[in-house]
């Protein structure tokens, strides 16, 4: 079960056709699902690193996520537009999601379907060339919900392999995890199964459970894997 689902590119292509008949089609590719950041679809820009910061309310709902991406161009004068798709699985209704730019980019378009999923077009402020190196930019997703989220955040890298993935989870003291662990898994459900203690994947509950984090570096990352944090809610 997932909180914010990132769909497979092929599935998003079908949704895009329903939302915008005249939108440019998306390339087929790999899934990049997560609770924290929507998949970024671009022919020209590769994600070098990504950071997710998720904030939870006293009811256990995600109310805000900040996603910072570091991208680089894989072609000369890369198209600066990126498509980002988001869906909040805990609640399906219009108006549950809204995306806004923070820095390094602007949200030039976002389209919502009747279930509350959004497809946003984000444009960075520069047409990059490969020699320009890494470019950082950040967006915020606002979630208007009081329904407790599923206890997992995750992201699957797209076809361009990143070097770093970060998760930072900030919980309200009224609703904190009792146990948490990190995972890197080939199957969607696999990472949500609590590991045995001798696997050493349980995370420290910092600030009395209010803060969790995990950083995956280049040595830990493998193609076609889901990466993230899962936990057990208090009763």
Tens of pLDDT, residues 114-137: 888 899 999 999 999 999 999 999
CB 165 within 8 A of CB 215: yes
- So what's the pLDDT on residue 218? 85
DSSP 8-state secondary structure symbol assigned to residue 176: -
CB 180 within 8 A of CB 203: yes
Task: Give the CATH architecture of domain 9-233.
Answer: Sandwich (2.60)
For the chain, give every domain's residue range: 9-233
pTM of the model: 0.80
Structure-block tokens of residue 6: 């990132």
Structure-block tokens of residue 145: 């919900």
Lowest mean pLDDT, pick from 37-46, 134-143, 200-209: 37-46
pLDDT at 199 over 90: yes
pLDDT at 194 over 80: yes
Name 151's Cβ contacts closer than 8 Å, sequence gap at least 6: 177, 192, 230, 231, 232, 233
pLDDT at 183 over 90: yes
Lowest mean pLDDT, pick from 24-33, 37-46, 77-86, 150-159: 24-33
The pLDDT of 128-152, averaged and rounded, is 95
E-assigned strand segments in the chain: 40-41, 45-56, 62-73, 81-86, 97-103, 105-112, 118-124, 135-143, 152-155, 164-170, 177-185, 211-216, 226-233
- So what's the pLDDT on residue 102? 97
CA R_g for the chain = 17
- So what's the pLDDT on residue 33? 31
């Amino acid at each position: 079960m997932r909180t914010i689902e990132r769909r497979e590119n092929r599935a998003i292509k079908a949704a895009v056709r329903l939302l915008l008949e005249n939108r440019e089609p998306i390339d087929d590719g790999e899934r990049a699902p997560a609770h924290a950041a929507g998949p970024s679809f671009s022919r020209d820009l590769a994600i070098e690193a990504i950071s997710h910061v998720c904030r939870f309310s006293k009811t256990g709902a995600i109310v805000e996520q900040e996603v910072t991406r570091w991208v680089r161009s894989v072609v000369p004068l890369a198209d600066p537009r990126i498509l980002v798709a988001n869906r909040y699985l805990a609640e399906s209704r219009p108006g549950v999601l809204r995306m806004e730019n923070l820095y390094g980019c602007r949200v030039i378009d976002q389209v919502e379907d009747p279930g509350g999923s959004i497809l946003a077009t984000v444009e960075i402020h520069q047409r990059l060339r490969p020699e320009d190196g890494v470019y950082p930019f950040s967006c915020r997703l606002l979630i208007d919900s009081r329904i407790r989220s599923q206890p997992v955040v995750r992201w699957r890298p797209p076809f361009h392999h990143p070097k770093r993935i970060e998760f930072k989870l900030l919980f309200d003291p009224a609703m904190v995890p009792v146990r948490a662990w990190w995972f890197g898994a080939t199957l969607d459900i696999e990472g949500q199964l609590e590991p045995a203690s001798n696997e050493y994947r349980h995370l420290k509950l910092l600030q009395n459970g209010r803060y969790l984090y995990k950083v995956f570096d280049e040595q830990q990352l493998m193609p076609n894997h889901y990466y993230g944090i899962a936990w057990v809610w208090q009763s």
